[in-house]
Structures are given as C-alpha cells and as structure tokens.
Amino acid sequence: MSYNNLLINQNNGICIITINRPNKLNALNKETIQELHEAIQDANLNKDVKVIILTGSGEKAFVAGADISEFAHFDVENGAKLAQKGQELLFDLVENLPTPVIAAVNGFALGGGLELAMACHFRVASSNAKMGLPEVSLGVIPGYGGTQRLPQLVGKGRAMEMIMTAGMVDAQQALSYGLANHVTSQEELLEFTQGLANRIMRNSSVAIAAAINAVNAGYKDGVDGYAAEIESFGNCFGTADFKEGTTAFLQKRKAEFPGA
C-alpha cells in the first residue's frame, strides 16, 4: 500500500515507518493520523513483522506537533471529538499494540509528536532531540494522552512543570527523566534502534505481546495489574512458544520460536 505522508521500509522482521512531511516538520494532520493507523495495523497483522520503528523524515523533526491550521476554528464539541478520535485511531492503538513499537526520535518531538513518541513502548533519541508539550501557549492542553502518559514516564512534578511552562527538554534531560531510554548521534539513531529491535526479535513474540498487555494493565483505572499478570503468565503455558523455549533451555540450545 502507498501513502501520501509515510515511507514504509520492511526488512528482516523490522518495519520502519517514517512520517514524511518534511516541509511541515512532519506535523500530524488528519490524513497522516489515518495513514499511521492503517500502516501500523498492516504491520501488526503481518506475520513477518516482529518490531515496528516510528521515526520522522529529515534531520530536524520526529514530529513537531499537530497541524494547527486544521483545528484553529473548532468549537468545544469538535475539539473533544478531535481528541477522542485521535486517541482511538492512533495513540491508544500504538500503546496497546502486541507488536513492539519503538520511537526513534530524530529531532523535535513537540505536542502531538511527543504524545506519539510516548505512546510507543519506548524511545531512543538523537542527541539533537528536543521534547515538549507546548499546548498551553496556544490556550489548550495536550489532547492525545499527554497529560496521562507524561506523568507516568517522568513523574507528576516534572510533568506539571513541562506542561505549565510549555518548555522543551533536550535529549540528555529526557534521558535523565526517563523520557528516553537511550541517546545516540543522529547518524547512529536508526542503526542503534534496529540493534535493539534485533535483540527483541530473539525472544518469543507471543510472550512479548503478553508482557505488553500485563504492563499496560497496571496503568488502567479499575484494572488489577497483578491479576492481569497472573492471567497472562498462565496463558503462556498453553503456547507453542513456551514449549519451545523451555525445551530449548533444557536441551541447551537456542530457541526457535514459532510465534503462533
């Protein structure tokens, strides 16, 4: 499938999805959000894809925010619908996807861009990356999950400061805050991230999907994360991957996971 705003590169189990609107610093508009939804769904359903990497085109930005021109004229009802639809189509989808999604943050990740990066399972940043939620400077708040995911990652106090000041943190601050897992040079960013993806792919994709579900359960209101872990743990015992993993361990050989 071809996309107007995305580049897709799939090779050796890794699908790299590049947001390709360099003239707009890869800002998210409705079309791009819809295309990301479709591309991520397609990658998730593709049995040959074990890890998804999200990044931005060019050297300046991962995603520099949302396309403000699309919603500057919205009223209260339309604003709420914008946030709800975006969360359902893309941000919640990414967070709960059973296929691991890594954000390779290659520059500015602001507003909706940082929200997209935070929805990913973890983040690798280039040394020139800048991250922030500047929405209050426009008279609005983050609407794609930023007020929820940022405190989970960096703590309530730091999240409040970042949101209320509308300021940016650089890559090293993001690393120290826990907002980024790793920082590399821009030249090494994709290679390093693919290295992490390769390490992930050595393991059971079935177990990884179960782990994603269990970890996320602990952050959902009304859900007992420990109970979710127990259920997912038990379910693993009924999988071919568990049989292969334990057999390979006992036979002192490398596991060849069927992933089904």
Active-site entry in 95, 135, 188, 191: 135
pTM confidence score: 0.96
Q: Which candidate, 150, 151, 107, 149, places its Cα nearest to that of 125?
A: 107
**Beta-bridge partner residues of 51:** 14
Q: Which candidate, 233, 198, 193, places its Cα nearest to that of 50?
A: 198
Active-site entry in 59, 115, 187, 229: 115
**Amino acid at the residue 33:** I
Q: Which candidate, 53, 157, 145, places its Cα nearest to that of 99?
A: 53
pLDDT for the residue numbered 67: 86
β-pairing verdict for 130-132 and 168-170: antiparallel
Domain ranges of the chain: 6-201, 205-250
pLDDT for the residue numbered 260: 54
Catalytic residue at 115? yes
pLDDT for the residue numbered 190: 98
Which residues of the chain fall below pLDDT 70?
259-260
pLDDT for the residue numbered 216: 97
Q: 3-state DSSP: the chain helix, strand, coil percent, rounded to 5?
A: 50, 15, 35
Residue 188 to residue 3: CA distance in whole angstroms? 26
Query: What is the DSSP code (8-state) at residue 180?
Result: -
User: Is 234 strand, coil or helix?
Assistant: helix
**In the chain, pLDDT over 70 holds for what percent of residues?**
99
* Cβ count near 230 (within 10 Å): 12
Q: Which distant-in-sequence residues (6+ apart) come within 8 Å of 7 by Cβ? A: 16, 17, 18, 20, 57
**Beta-bridge partner residues of 125:** 105, 183
Instruction: Name the CATH superfamily housing domain 6-201.
Output: 2-enoyl-CoA Hydratase; Chain A, domain 1 (3.90.226.10)
pLDDT for the residue numbered 234: 98
CA dihedral 61, 65, 71, 75 (to 10 degrees): 180
Burial (CB count <10 Å: 0-12, 13-18, 19+), residue 125:
buried
Contact 93, 55 (CB under 8 A): no
Residue 65 to residue 59: CA distance in whole angstroms? 16
**Amino acid at the residue 256:** E
